[in-house]
């Protein structure tokens, strides 16, 4: 059906399958029913496939397999193949699977599967039918216990509902008690605004105090300067000063001459203690020898450096016969021509494939229903399966 290959590992306790419509939830139940009952028909075979397999591995290690291939059904129970069942199941299937129907004188009961849109087990049956089940079922005590537990859970749910209703009433009363908090919140916000305004006024007063202090200090300074001006008014003006430019120039010249005399005296004292220099010999020949030695030393250093570099070089390789290289070049040219030819054929094939896909999309858009199985067809899903398997999907 909708499961090409699906493996489900049940969880401990309860396993729940969820998902949208047409995602394969009911197909899992149908697979288990087919394995347990050997249901006839081929509706469970996926569209376009030749066989269908359902495999269940129990906690005890039993491996049970149902297979339908080309209209023939067979079982494999722990590696043992069972054929020609004619709609029946292997004798030991439910000894290992433990999911049999409850047999009665009339129609058997299925206690393991509940179909969609069907009431709870036995509730839609007649009283006689229910009595027949309880009279013949070995699990009657368990079902009665299940009904008792169900009623107990209903009572617990009703008690919980009553408790929640009482709690809701108490909470509603508490909310009504706390309703004036909204007005208090508005009052608190107003008080906070007044507090902020008072704080701003206090900051303004602090600034005014600093300005007042500055004004007082300014007044004191003004009074002090006024007193100084009044005291200075009674003093006689200072005498006029004579021109002192020439006198200053003479002082600077005398100072300069004094420092120069001291410097020359110190130099004369230092020179008086120095011996006379020796007579200089002819140094032109010595200078030539030194220059020649420098050039020879530079040449030796350069030659040594070149020797160190050449010592690390490997010997040149020997030349090989390159006749075979020409044959390889010819083979590569031939392969390149063949590749160009195959590339052209590939482009033509891709063009034909694109035209075929367009024609298939037009066909699916026009019909929308598979003429073979009557299922809905989706062009993108069909082409995705075609490209994934390399063959036609159905």
CA distance 174 to 275: 118
> Of residues 329 and 20, which shows the higher confidence score?
20
**Residue 105 included in any domain:** no
Q: Do the domain assignments include residue 233? A: no
4 and 95 both lie in a single domain: yes
What the block records as the tokens of 167 is 């709690």
Which of 58, 83, 100 finishes a domain? Answer: 100
Percent of the chain with pLDDT over 90: 8
**The pair of three-digit structure tokens given for residue 391, joined into one six-digit string:** 């063959």
Domain boundary among 47, 68, 100: 100
Residue 320 lies in a domain: no
Taking the alpha carbons at both ends of the chain, their separation in whole angstroms is 13
Question: Does 261 fall in a domain?
Answer: no
pLDDT single digits (tens) 72-123: 889 999 999 988 888 888 888 888 888 887 777 677 777 788 777 776 666 6
Residue 41 counted as domain residue: yes
Q: Is residue 68 part of a domain?
A: yes
Give pLDDT tens digits for 298-331: 777 787 777 777 677 666 666 666 667 777 778 7
Is residue 81 one of the residues assigned to a domain? yes
pLDDT grade, residue 393 (50/70/90)?
A: very low
Residues 96 and 185 in one domain: no
Query: Could you give the number of structural domains in the chain?
Result: 3
Averaged pLDDT for residues 268-286: 68
Note down the domain range covering 376. Answer: 349-394
Q: Is 44 exposed, middle or buried, given 0-12, 13-18 or 19+ CB atoms closer than 10 A?
A: middle
Letter string b/e over residues 87-120, b meaning 16 or more CB atoms within 10 A of that residue's CB: eebbeebeebbebbebeeeeeebbbeeeeeeeee
Tens-digit pLDDT profile for residues 38-84: 888 888 888 888 899 999 999 899 999 999 888 888 999 999 998 88
More confident residue, 278 or 45: 45
Task: Say what the pTM is.
Answer: 0.36
> What confidence score (pLDDT) does residue 278 get?
64
Q: Could you tell me the CATH number of the domain that includes residue 73?
A: 3.40.50.300
**Among 168, 199, 214, where does a domain finish?**
214
Assign 371 a pLDDT band (cuts: 50, 70, 90): low
Distance CA 336, CA 344 (A): 13
* 152 is a domain residue: no
Residue of 1, 95, 81 whose CA lies nearest to 41: 1
**Residue 55: its pLDDT value, please?**
94
Question: For residue 394, what pLDDT is reported?
Answer: 40
Q: Using CA atoms, how far apart are residues 207 and 214, in angstroms rounded to an integer?
A: 11
């Amino acid at each position: 059906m909708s499961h090409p290959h699906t493996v489900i590992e049940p969880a401990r306790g309860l396993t729940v399958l969820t998902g949208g419509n047409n995602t394969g939830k009911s197909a899992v139940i149908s697979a288990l029913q087919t394995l347990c009952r050997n249901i006839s028909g081929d509706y469970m075979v996926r569209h376009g496939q030749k066989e269908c397999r359902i495999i269940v591995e129990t906690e005890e290690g039993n491996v049970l397999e149902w297979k339908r291939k080309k209209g023939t059904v067979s079982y494999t129970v722990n590696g043992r193949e069972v054929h020609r069942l004619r709609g029946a199941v292997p004798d030991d299937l439910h000894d290992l699977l433990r999911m049999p129907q409850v047999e009665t004188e009339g129609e058997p009961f299925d206690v393991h599967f509940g179909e969609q849109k069907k009431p709870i087990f036995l509730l839609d049956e007649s009283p006689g039918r229910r009595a027949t089940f309880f009279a013949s079922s070995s699990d009657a005590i368990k079902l009665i216990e299940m009904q008792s537990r169900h009623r107990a859970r209903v009572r617990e749910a009703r008690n919980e509902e009553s408790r929640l209703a009482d709690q809701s009433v108490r909470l509603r009363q508490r909310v009504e008690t706390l309703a004036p908090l909204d007005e208090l919140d508005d009052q608190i916000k107003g008080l906070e605004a007044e507090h902020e305004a008072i704080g701003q006024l206090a900051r303004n007063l602090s600034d005014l105090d600093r300005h007042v202090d500055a004004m007082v200090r300014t007044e004191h300074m003004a009074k002090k300067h006024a007193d100084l001006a009044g005291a200075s008014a009674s003093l006689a003006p200072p005498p006029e000063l004579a021109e002192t430019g020439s006198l200053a120039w003479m002082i600077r010249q005398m100072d300069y001459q004094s420092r120069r005399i001291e410097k020359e005296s110190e130099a004369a004292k230092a020179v008086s203690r120095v011996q006379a220099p020796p007579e200089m010999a002819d140094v032109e020949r010595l200078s030539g020898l030194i220059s020649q030695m420098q050039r020879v030393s530079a040449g030796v250093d350069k030659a040594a450096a070149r020797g160190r570099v050449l010592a690390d070089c490997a010997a040149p390789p020997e030349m090989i016969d390159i006749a075979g290289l020409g044959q390889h070049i010819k083979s590569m040219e031939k392969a390149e021509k063949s590749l160009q030819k195959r590339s052209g054929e590939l482009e033509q094939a891709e063009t034909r494939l694109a035209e075929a896909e367009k024609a298939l999309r037009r066909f699916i858009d026009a019909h929308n229903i598979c003429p073979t199985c009557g299922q809905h067809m989706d062009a993108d899903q069909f082409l995705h399966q075609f490209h994934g398997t390399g063959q036609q999907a159905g």
